[in-house]
């Protein structure tokens, strides 16, 4: 990788699994590495590593100029440090964030991900793979509804994915912000991502018209939702 600046690109929803013909977000992520044929590893822990998700990843990324691979925790687990730290991109899939982080902590993965991030390896992902990088995220890991969840804390504040794609996301995030149960943060719609350099927003990217992200905070119990400028990506093929 050419840029040792720590970079994280959380995606609110969508991406290769939802529409394998629209790989604009994936192309953008790979381009940030500055590597002609970057190594990208998919980490589908949160969904239990289903075969169809892994197959969708390979089908999409084999169309791109990269070297894709998958990390499994439910088979023989490899030497995690040597595997993760030789990547250019670590892409975390969606699913149950709470279960994913619990398993990761048992394997010592958060420390390895922080080391990877600080060395310039790009961390990215969708849904669970978006909120996991923040101090807290709004998760559907529980059967009784959305809740705040403590996450890895690489980026300060909170994150809500699927902001326009799931009807309970916006009112729930507003409610938790207003009550002080979750700190100020960002809301990311499906097909949008936020590119962080260090812990500061570099730019918001959108892969479909109208996809947005918002800066969110509560002031005296009133939630302020501020749209962030968006750079819309083309879907040009290779």
Say if residues 96 and 83 touch (Cβ distance below 8 Å).
no
- Whether the predicted pLDDT of 2 surpasses 60: no
Mean pLDDT of 192-209: 98
Residue 112 pLDDT grade (very low, low, confident, very high; cuts 50, 70, 90) = very high
- Whether the predicted pLDDT of 236 surpasses 80: no
pLDDT tens-digit map of 222-235: 999 999 999 999 87
What per-residue confidence (pLDDT) applies to 3?
Answer: 55
Phi, psi of 86 (to 5 degrees): -100, 5
Say if residues 112 and 84 touch (Cβ distance below 8 Å).
yes
Mean pLDDT of 184-201: 98
- Whether the predicted pLDDT of 94 surpasses 50: yes
Q: In whole angstroms, give the CA distance from residue 90 to residue 41.
A: 5
What per-residue confidence (pLDDT) applies to 101?
Answer: 98
Q: Report which DSSP code applies to 47.
A: G
Catalytic residues: 127, 162
Q: How far is CA 90 from CA 12, 68, 79, in A?
A: 16, 10, 15
pLDDT tens-digit map of 40-64: 999 999 999 999 999 999 999 999 9
pTM of the entire predicted model: 0.96
- Whether the predicted pLDDT of 107 surpasses 60: yes
Q: In whole angstroms, give the CA distance from residue 10 to residue 117.
A: 13
- Whether the predicted pLDDT of 31 surpasses 50: yes
Residue 133's nearest CA partner among 212, 225, 199, 213 is 199
Q: What sign has the CA pseudo-torsion 218, 220, 222, 227? A: negative
Q: How far is CA 150 from CA 12, 58, 74, 89, 141, in A?
A: 18, 31, 24, 24, 12
Q: In whole angstroms, give the CA distance from residue 235 to residue 50.
A: 27
């Amino acid at each position: 990788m050419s840029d040792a600046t720590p970079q994280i690109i959380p995606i609110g929803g969508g991406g290769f699994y939802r529409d394998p013909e629209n790989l604009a977000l994936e192309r953008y992520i790979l381009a940030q590495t500055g590597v002609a044929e970057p190594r990208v590893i998919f980490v589908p822990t949160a969904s239990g590593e289903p075969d169809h998700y892994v197959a969708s990843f390979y089908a999409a990324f084999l169309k791109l100029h990269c070297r894709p691979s998958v990390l499994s925790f439910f088979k023989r687990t490899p030497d995690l440090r040597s595997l993760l730290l030789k990547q250019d991109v670590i892409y975390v899939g969606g699913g149950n964030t709470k279960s994913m982080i619990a398993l990761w902590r048992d394997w010592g993965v958060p420390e390895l991900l922080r080391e990877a991030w600080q060395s310039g390896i790009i961390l990215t992902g969708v849904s669970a793979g978006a909120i996991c990088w923040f101090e807290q995220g709004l998760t559907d890991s529980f059967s009784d509804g959305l809740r705040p969840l403590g996450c890895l804390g690489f980026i300060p504040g909170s994150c809500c994915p699927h902001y326009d794609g799931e009807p309970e996301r916006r009112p729930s995030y507003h409610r938790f912000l207003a009550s002080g149960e979750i700190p100020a943060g960002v809301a990311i719609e499906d097909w949008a991502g936020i590119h962080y350099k260090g812990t500061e927003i570099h730019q918001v990217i959108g892969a479909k018209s109208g996809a947005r992200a918002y800066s969110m905070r509560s002031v005296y119990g009133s939630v302020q939702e501020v749209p962030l400028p968006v750079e819309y990506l083309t879907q040009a093929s290779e």
